[in-house]
């Protein structure tokens, strides 16, 4: 399987993402500069955290209009996996690949610590290696991680089982404790906590390994079926 880690000006978690896919999961992985637009050879797209374009205007809003997003949308439309973490999640929201928006944390402060999460939906290509309702630990590191959507959108997310991760103590004020959501088709996941920073016990948790393993295992199973 081949991963592309998209690097925007201001990305600062791209090496963490690269390490998780290349060194921990042992899959072919490239860092792809945002001005490059040929993503045809990649099986999965990873949008890392950071402060793309300095978070000017709104977090992720400038990156969402960059040239490479056309390729990412085409990739998603083909049913291929797209994972956006932290700023990557914000970019997916701004680009319209996921519903809702991000507000400032309820305490108006940047938050950086380990956070317990619940795996609400383990029937996705990103979470199939987890047990349903498993409580796992990922770090968070954001100032605008307060997920918001209107009541109608929240109802749709709940009815379609699109809420994948929830916070156990909701540190940022997100609607319905939401920490991560998926699109209706099930191949685009956005989340604020950082699984790529939870891939070794040395980092405080290795709970993130199963997320990357889920992507790879589901890709392999689909290719065996289609072979």
pLDDT digits (tens, 9 = 90+) for 94-143: 999 999 999 999 999 999 999 999 999 999 999 999 999 999 999 999 99
| pLDDT in the model for residue 30 | 97
pLDDT of 227 reads 55
219 pLDDT band, cuts 50/70/90, is very high
* Dihedral angle computed from the Cα positions of residues 157, 163, 166 and 171, in that order, rounded to the nearest 10 degrees: -50
What confidence score (pLDDT) does residue 152 get?
98
Q: Are strands 188-191 and 178-182 parallel, antiparallel or unpaired?
A: antiparallel
Number of domains in the chain: 1
pLDDT exceeds 90 at position 198? yes
Least confident of 49-63, 67-81, 185-199: 49-63
Question: What is the per-residue pLDDT for 226?
Answer: 63
36 pLDDT higher than 90: no
Burial 87-122 (b: 16+ CB within 10 A, else e): bbbbbbbbbebbbbbbbbbeeeeebeeebebbbbbb
**The domain that contains 75 carries what CATH number?**
3.40.50.880
Q: Which residues are catalytic?
A: 86, 194, 196
Q: What is the pTM of this model?
A: 0.96
pLDDT score, position 58: 86
Q: Percent of the chain at pLDDT above 70? A: 99
Note the pLDDT of residue 57: 78
Domain range for residue 143? 2-226
Q: How large a percentage of the chain has pLDDT more than 90? A: 92
């Amino acid at each position: 399987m081949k991963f592309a880690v998209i690097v925007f000006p201001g990305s600062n978690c791209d090496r963490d993402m690269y390490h998780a896919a290349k060194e921990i999961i042992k899959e072919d992985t490239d860092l792809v500069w945002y001005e490059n637009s040929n993503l045809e050879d990649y099986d999965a797209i990873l949008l890392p955290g950071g402060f793309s374009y300095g978070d000017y205007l709104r977090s992720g809003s400038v990156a969402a209009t960059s040239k490479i997003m056309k390729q990412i949308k085409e990739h998603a439309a083909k049913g291929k996996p797209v994972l956006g973490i932290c700023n990557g999640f914000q970019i997916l929201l701004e680009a319209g690949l996921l519903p809702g928006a991000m507000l400032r944390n309820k305490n108006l402060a940047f938050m950086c610590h380990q956070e317990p999460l619940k795996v609400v939906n383990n029937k996705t290509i990103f979470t199939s290696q987890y047990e349903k309702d498993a409580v796992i630990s990922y770090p968070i590191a954001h100032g605008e991680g307060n997920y918001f959507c209107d009541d109608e959108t929240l109802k749709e997310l709940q009815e379609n089982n699109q809420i994948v991760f929830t916070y156990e103590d909701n540190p940022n004020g997100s609607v319905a404790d939401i920490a991560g959501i998926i699109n209706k088709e099930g191949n685009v996941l956005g989340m604020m906590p950082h699984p790529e920073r939870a891939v070794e016990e040395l980092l405080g948790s290795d709970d993130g390994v199963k997320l990357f393993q889920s992507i790879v295992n589901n890709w392999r199973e689909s290719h065996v079926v289609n072979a």
